[in-house]
Amino acid sequence: MAAIEANQLTKTFRTYQKRHGFWGSVYGLFRREFTETRAASNITFTIQEGELVGFLGPNGAGKTTVLKMLSGLLFPSSGQAKVLGFTPWERKNDYRRQFSLVMGQKNQLWWDLPAKDSFDLNREIYGIERATFNRKLDELSKLLDVEDKLNVMVRELSLGERMKMELIASLLHSPRVLLLDEPTIGLDVVSQKKVREFIREYNRVHKVTILLTSHYMMDIEELCERVIIIDHGKIFFDGKLSEIVNRFAGHKILHFICKELPADEALAQMGEVLEKKAGSIQLKVPRAQVAAVCREMFTRYTIEDINIEEVPIEDIIRQIFHTQTEVYAKTQTP
C-alpha cells in the first residue's frame, strides 16, 4: 500500500523585485514587478509503507519545498498529493497526528526549558496517555542514549544532543510517516553514526515510512536502498542506489601493487593517475577499458596484486549535480 503519492506536484514562488533606492520604493507603490521561480515542477513518485527513501539534490533543488507540501505547510501551485490517504494541505487533525517533519536547521523545542517539558507539551497536544507517553519516551531516550539529558535546558545541550531530542519529540505520538530534512547537518561523525543507527533501527522495528534528505552521502548509503534525485525542481532519477553506479559511473578505480613503477607517460595513456607511490599505483579508468588496461599492466610489469573498485558514490552524485547544472544553464541561455 502506498503511504506517499505525489502526482505532478508543482510549486511556483512569486517574488517582488524592488528597485534600488528611495525612488525605487516610490515606484514600487504604483507599479510592482515580480519574478517567478518554479521550486518544484511536476514532481511524481510513490513511496510504499515502511520504505526508507533518500531524497537527494543540491542546495536549491526543491527538496525542502516538496517536504513542506507533503507536510501541509505549503499549498502547491498545481498537482495532487496523498499521504496516508489524506491531502496534506487540508491539514486535517487525523492526518497531523500521523506524520512528523524534522528539519535539521529549525528547532521545535523550547530553547529555555528542559526537553522533557517540551515532550510533556507534545503529550497534551496529541492527547497521549501518560503510561503510553512514559513507555515511548523511555524507549526513545534509551535508543538515543540521552536518558541523563532529559532535564537539561535545551540551550545547554550540544548540537548532537539537541537533534536527538528533536527526533524524540517527533516520534512520541508514533507517526506512520516521518519526513527528515537533513537530520545530521552539522553533527560530528560520532553523533551522525548514532542518529543513523537510530533511524535504521526505528524503521526496522516500527515499519514507519521515511523520506530522508541529506547532503552526507554516508547517511544515504547506510540507510537507503532507493533514492530520488531532484535538481532545479525536477526529478531525473528514481531507483535503487546501486543503479546509480551502473547508470552514471563511467569509470572504475584500479589499484595495482607492483615492484616496478611504470613511467608517468605510460600511465597517462592508460587512465587518470590518482596516486603513485612506492610499490602502489591507483588509476581511474573508463569502464570499457578496464580489461585492456589490466591486461597491459600484467603483460608489461610485475604485478603482485590488483584491486578493482567502483568510484565512490559521493563522487558520482557530485558529478551528476555538476552535469545537471550545466545542462540547466544551457537551456536557460537565449
User: 109 Cβ partners below 8 Å, 6+ apart?
Assistant: 115, 118, 154, 162, 165, 166, 169
For residues 254 and 326, is the Cβ–Cβ distance under 8 A? no
**Position 110 in a domain:** yes
Residue 228: closest CA among 155, 163, 317, 108: 317
Last residue of a domain, one of 209, 227, 245: 245
Mean pLDDT, the chain, whole residue set: 87
Q: Could you tell me the CATH number of the domain that includes residue 264?
A: 3.30.70.980
Q: Which of 43-52, 174-183, 315-324 has the lowest mean pLDDT?
A: 315-324
Q: Which residues pair with 285 in a beta bridge?
A: 252
Residue 77: which CATH number?
3.40.50.300
Most confident of 76-85, 182-191, 229-238, 319-328: 76-85
pLDDT at 139: 92
Same domain as 181, residue 278: no
258 and 192 housed in the same domain:
no
Q: Are 239 and 226 in contact (CB under 8 A)?
A: yes
pLDDT digits (tens, 9 = 90+) for 196-238: 999 999 999 999 999 999 888 888 888 998 999 888 888 888 9
Q: Are residues 11 and 147 in the same domain?
A: yes
130 and 272 co-located in one domain: no
Are 146 and 289 found together in one domain?
A: no
- pLDDT over 90 (residue 129): yes
Q: Residues 278-332: pLDDT tens digits?
A: 888 888 888 888 899 888 888 888 888 888 887 777 677 777 776 666 555 556 6
Cα distances from 201 to residues 123, 130, 144, in angstroms, run 23, 25, 11
Sign of CA dihedral 125, 129, 132, 134: positive
Q: Are residues 143 and 179 in the same domain?
A: yes
Mean pLDDT of 260-270: 83
What does the pLDDT read at residue 233? Answer: 85
- 330 occurs within a structural domain: no
Question: Are both 235 and 278 inside the same structural domain?
Answer: no
Do 12 and 75 sit in the same domain of this protein? yes
State the residue range of the domain holding 256.
Answer: 250-310
φ and ψ of 124, to 5 deg = -70, -45
Distance CA 174, CA 235 (A): 30
How many structural domains does the chain have? Answer: 2
pLDDT of residue 128: 92
Name residue 277's amino acid: K
Per-residue model confidence (pLDDT) at position 315: 76
Please tell me whether residues 35 and 78 are part of one structural domain: yes
Confidence class of residue 165 from pLDDT cuts 50, 70 and 90?
A: very high
In a domain, 129, yes or no: yes
Task: Give the model's pLDDT for residue 51.
Answer: 94
Q: Are residues 283 and 218 in the same domain?
A: no
| Domain end point (choices 195, 216, 245) | 245
Please indicate, yes or no, whether residues 238 and 259 belong to a single structural domain of this protein: no
The C-alpha atoms of residue 20 and residue 1 are separated, in whole angstroms, by 54
Q: Are residues 179 and 258 in the same domain?
A: no
The predicted model scores a pTM of 0.80
Residue 83: the pLDDT is: 94
